[in-house]
Amino acid sequence: MKTVLYRTLVTEFYRQNTGFFLVILMISFAIIRPDDHVALFQYAMSSPPFLLYYFAIWTLYVFKTIAFVRHQFRHPAYRFLYHFRLIPPGTRLFYWLSISISLLLPILAYALWMSFHGVRNQQWTAIGSIALFALGMVATALIIFERVIRQSNTEVKVRTFARNWPLPYPLFFIQFLLRRNAILVLITKLFSGAILIGVCLLYPTDDYDERLIAIGLLIGSLIHLGLTTEHYTFEHEYLLFVRNLPLSFLKRFTAHTLQMLLIFLPEVLLLFRYLPDPISFLFVVKAFVFISGIQMAALHRVYQHDKSLEKLSLYGLWGFIIGLVFIMFRLDLTIIGGLLWIYAAWINAYKYYKSEFQFD
C-alpha cells in the first residue's frame, strides 16, 4: 500500500510538476543568486512582517499539493486509493505524515536553509516562527488528506443547472484549467503577472530598452510550461475521441489559437495597463505572438515527440538560455514568436495524429 500511495501521490506529483519546479528553480537560482536569497531572507528574518510574504508563497504551495491529492483521489483511475481508509488509523497517520513531508519537501528544505542561517545570526524568534509555520503546514496537509479519504462519498461539485447552449470546443480546456487546476493557474498567473509588472515598473528607473520587458515575457511564458503539460494530458486522457473527428488543420489550429488568446489574456491586459510610456502599444501584439509562440511550440513539440513531456522542464531551461541570447542580440520578438508559431503549425499539419500518450 505504501508503494502504491507514494507512486500515485508523491512520485506522480513531482513527475507532473517537473516543468513547474524547473522553472521555479531556474528563476530562483539561475536568475537570483544564492547570496541574494540569503540577503533577502536574512532581512525578512530580522523584520518578521516581511516573513509573512514567505509564508504566503509557502501557503500557495501547500494548496497546490492539497489540490493535487484531492484531484488524484477523485480521478476515476485512482478510486482504489480509498481502500487506504481500511488501514489502522495509527499506521495511516504515519503514512500521511510521511507523504505530507515528501510533498512539502522543497519548502521544508528552504525553511531549513533559512533556519540554518538564522541560528548563525541568533534570530530565534524568526526561527521559532518558521518552525511553527512549517509544523502547521505539515499538520494542515495531513488533516486535509485524512478528510479527503473520510469523504469518499462526497460528490464532485458540478453545476446543477442545465445549460441550453453547448460549450464551444476551445473552452473545454479552459474550463478544465479553472475547475480542476485553479491553484496551478493562480500560481502561474501570480508569478507571471508579478514578473511582468516588475519589469514594467523597473523600466523607467534606468536606461533600459524593450529587451528588459522581453526578458520578463520570456520568463512569464516559460512559467506556463506547467499548463502545457496539463493541456497535453487533458487532450489525451479526456478528449481522445477528438482524434476521430474530421477536423481540418485550420479548425484545429484556430482552436489552439483561441485557447492561447484566452490563456494569455491576463498578461495582455497587464501589458496594456503597465506598459511604460515610450513603448508603443504595438509591442503588446509582438509580446502576444512571442509568449503564445513559446507555448504553442512547447505543446506541439510534445505532439511531435510524446516522450518530450518528461523533458519539458529541460526545454524550459534551454528555451530560457536561447531566448535570452536572441533577446540580447535584439532579434525582434515577432520574428522569434513567428518562427515558433510556424514550427507549431508544421507539427499540427503533418504530425498531429502521430501523437500518442503512452503511460509508463
Partner 1 sequence: MLHVKNYRKAYHSRTILEVPELQLQPGIHWIRGVNGAGKSTFFRSVAGMLPFEGEIWLDDTWEVKRDPVAFRLRVNYAEAEPLYPEYLSAFDLISFVAKAKKAPAGQVNELVETLEITSFWKQPVGTYSSGMLKKTSLILGFLGNPTLIMLDEPLITIDDRAVANVCQLIDQYHQNGVQFLLSSHQDFRLTDLKMDSSYIIRNQTLEEIHLG
Stretch that binds partner 1, among 18-26, 42-50, 144-152, 349-357 (CB under 8 A): 349-357
Residue from 3, 35, 49, 76 in contact with partner 1 (CB under 8 A): 76
Stretch that binds partner 1, among 57-65, 150-158, 191-199, 269-277 (CB under 8 A): 150-158
Please tell me whether residue 175 binds partner 1 under the rule CB under 8 A: yes
At 229, which amino acid appears?
A: T
Closest distance between partner 1 and the C-beta of residue 250, in Å? 10
Q: How far apart are the C-alpha atoms of 353 and 243, rounded to whole Å? A: 7
For the record, the C-alpha cell of 303 comes out as 505532439
Stretch that binds partner 1, among 34-42, 190-198, 232-240, 292-300 (CB under 8 A): 232-240
Stretch that binds partner 1, among 18-26, 112-120, 155-163, 309-317 (CB under 8 A): 155-163
Residue from 124, 238, 272, 318 in contact with partner 1 (CB under 8 A): 238
List alpha helices for the chain, DSSP H: 2-5, 12-16, 18-25, 34-46, 48-74, 89-103, 105-120, 124-150, 170-180, 182-202, 210-223, 225-238, 249-263, 265-274, 282-304, 308-328, 333-350
Is the CB of 169 or the CB of 343 nearer to partner 1? 169
Closest distance between partner 1 and the C-beta of residue 159, in Å? 6
Is the CB of 120 or the CB of 163 nearer to partner 1? 163
Residue from 6, 172, 274, 343 in contact with partner 1 (CB under 8 A): 172
Please tell me whether residue 86 binds partner 1 under the rule CB under 8 A: no
Which residues in 109-132 are b (16+ Cβ under 10 Å) and which e? ebbeebbebbeeeebeebbebbee
Is the CB of 205 or the CB of 244 nearer to partner 1? 244
At 43, which amino acid appears?
A: Y
Which residues in 164-185 are b (16+ Cβ under 10 Å) and which e? eeeeebbebbbebbeebbebbb
Q: How far apart are the C-alpha atoms of 37 and 114, rounded to whole Å? A: 9
CB of 20 closer than 8 Å to CB of 29: no
Place of cell 513539440: 301
Residue from 56, 105, 194, 245 in contact with partner 1 (CB under 8 A): 245
Q: How far apart are the C-alpha atoms of 20 and 227, rounded to whole Å? A: 9
Stretch that binds partner 1, among 49-57, 167-175, 216-224, 326-334 (CB under 8 A): 167-175
- Footprint of partner 1 (CB under 8 A): 76, 155-156, 158-159, 162-164, 166-167, 169, 172, 175-176, 179-180, 234, 237-241, 243-248, 353-356, 358
